[in-house]
Every structure is written in C-alpha cells, then in structure tokens.
C-alpha cells in the first residue's frame, strides 16, 4: 500500500465492499482496485461488467485473471493495472478449486 500511495493519485478509498468498489470502477467513479482473498463468486459477474465497460481485470502477478486464485487487479486501463500489479507483493490465500 505504501508504494501505491507514492504514485500520483487523487485519493485512496476503502469502502468496505468489494462488489461496490468493482462497480464503482465499471461506472467510472474509480480508476483502479486490487484485493487479495476474494472468491470466484465475488469476481465472476464484476469481471464481466468491468470488461464490458472497457476496463481491464488481471491477476495481481500481472498475468491473466485466474478466478480461482482469490486475487485481482482491476483498472480503467491496462497501463494502470500493470503499474498496480508491479507494486504489489502477491499474497497466496489458496485457491477456490482446492477447498
């Protein structure tokens, strides 16, 4: 989080709801979002909505999104998503398909 706070940003919001935060991104009210520990049911519909709105959804490693990996970076542009992914240290919460 500290590395991301040094990036040029207007502000950082933590609203307490991953679904609402992802919908804010899709609507253009936010530029980016990342989270560890989300489950596939938290991400599946939001991923479709964000992609249909023109956003990007990737894994925190910078690779393609793996819905079962319980981690996500979503952003309005690929450049912003990669900037965030590169600043993160990936945390492994396990996989939804291994529980």
59 is in an annotated binding site: no
Q: Is 75 strand, coil or helix? A: strand
Cβ contact 32:75 at 8 Å: yes
Specify the residue for token string 């009210």: 29
Rounded Cα–Cα distance for residues 75 and 55 (Å) = 6
* Residue list for the binding site: 42
* Residue list for the binding site for Mg(2+): 42
């Amino acid at each position: 989080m500290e590395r991301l706070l040094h990036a040029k940003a207007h502000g950082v919001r933590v609203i307490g709801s991953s679904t609402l935060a992802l919908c804010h991104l899709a609507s253009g009210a936010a530029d980016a979002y990342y989270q560890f520990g989300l489950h596939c049911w938290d991400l599946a519909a939001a991923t479709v909505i964000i992609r249909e709105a023109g956003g990007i959804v990737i894994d925190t490693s910078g690779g393609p999104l793996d819905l079962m990996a319980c981690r996500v970076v979503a952003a309005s542009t690929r450049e912003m998503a990669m900037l965030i992914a590169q600043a993160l240290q990936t945390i492994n919460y396990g996989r939804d398909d291994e529980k």
